[in-house]
Amino acid sequence: MTNTMLHKAATRGHANHGWLNSMHTFSFANYHNPDRMHFGALRVLNDDTVEAGKGFGTHPHDNMEIISIPLEGDLEHKDSMGNVSVIRHGDIQVMSAGTGIFHSEYNKNKDQRVKFLQIWVFPNKKNVTPRYDQITLNLDDRHNKLQQVLSPNPDDEGVWIHQNAWFHLGKFDKGVSAEYKIKAAGNGVYAFILSGEITINSQALSSRDGFGISNVDQLTISADTEAEFLLMEVPMSF
């Protein structure tokens, strides 16, 4: 039997710290909802806006796969592994926190906000050596098709993580449809709509809605308007 969970945009947790406006799909920090702890191995999906010149000071992580997807503006990253970089719309960043890292993230610009998705996935290996990577994606590769941006395989398209997970981004014109086949038995897919309106397996979704679905072999995705979305396939048991 197919299992689904629908998280409408307006039902997400919300934290406004002045410099940071964050919407939480799953329990995070001061937002705790026992019905929204995770979707399988997907633990955190934060929709963050950081004001000009502001950011997250140095803080620790361990034993988590952390993915950042910038949507607007420039985000500067520094970490205890010696990495200093800037990620922009069209990039994707990944950290395997493993045995432990410290990092900071700042809005590099003084005149515009940064918007990005912060995503945490439980790893399938603990206490790995910490790792950092980022790549720039070709935005044309998601126009009216599904662009793979993350997988478990270092030799595959996109970045990789220590988990049997695959992420895809799509930017579809109105009326475009696609099929997505589940890549690993026991996995489910959590879809997050960045903009526009789409229908996934008869479920209508709007901007910033989230929809989790498991116990299916494939999804049918149809764009009801011009739309952009993220599909996150993760193990339901881990």
24 with 126, same domain: the answer is yes
Structure confidence by residue, pLDDT tens digits, 64-94: 999 999 999 999 888 899 988 999 999 999 9
Show which of 119, 136, 153 is a domain's final residue: 136
124 with 213, same domain: the answer is no
128 with 161, same domain: the answer is no
| Mean pLDDT (whole number) for 180-201 | 98
Residue 58, pLDDT > 90, answer: no
Give the model's confidence band at 174: pLDDT under 50 very low, under 70 low, under 90 confident, else very high: very high
CATH number for the domain harbouring residue 79: 2.60.120.10
Q: Is residue 112 part of a domain?
A: yes
Q: Which of 116, 141, 96, 122 is closest to 43 using CA atoms?
A: 122
| Mean pLDDT (whole number) for 14-43 | 96
181 with 150, same domain: the answer is yes
125 with 144, same domain: the answer is no
Q: Is residue 1 part of a domain?
A: no
Q: Is 85:136 a contact under the CB 8 Å cutoff? A: no
Structure confidence by residue, pLDDT tens digits, 212-231: 999 999 999 999 999 999 99
Residue 132, pLDDT > 80, answer: yes
Show which of 120, 136, 152 is a domain's final residue: 136
| Mean pLDDT (whole number) for 86-106 | 92
71 with 183, same domain: the answer is no
Q: What is the largest CA-CA distance in the chain?
A: 51
Q: Is residue 127 part of a domain?
A: yes
Higher confidence at residue 59 or residue 212? 212
pTM score over 0.85: yes
- Which amino acid would we find at residue 66? I
Residue 106, pLDDT > 80, answer: no
What value, to the nearest 5°, has the Cα angle with vertex 165 and ends 160 and 166?
Answer: 75
| Mean pLDDT (whole number) for 178-203 | 98
β-strands 203-205, 159-160 pairing: unpaired
Q: Is residue 174 part of a domain?
A: yes
Residue 40, pLDDT > 90, answer: yes
Show which of 73, 103, 136 is a domain's final residue: 136
Cα dihedral 27, 33, 35, 38, rounded to 10, equals 10
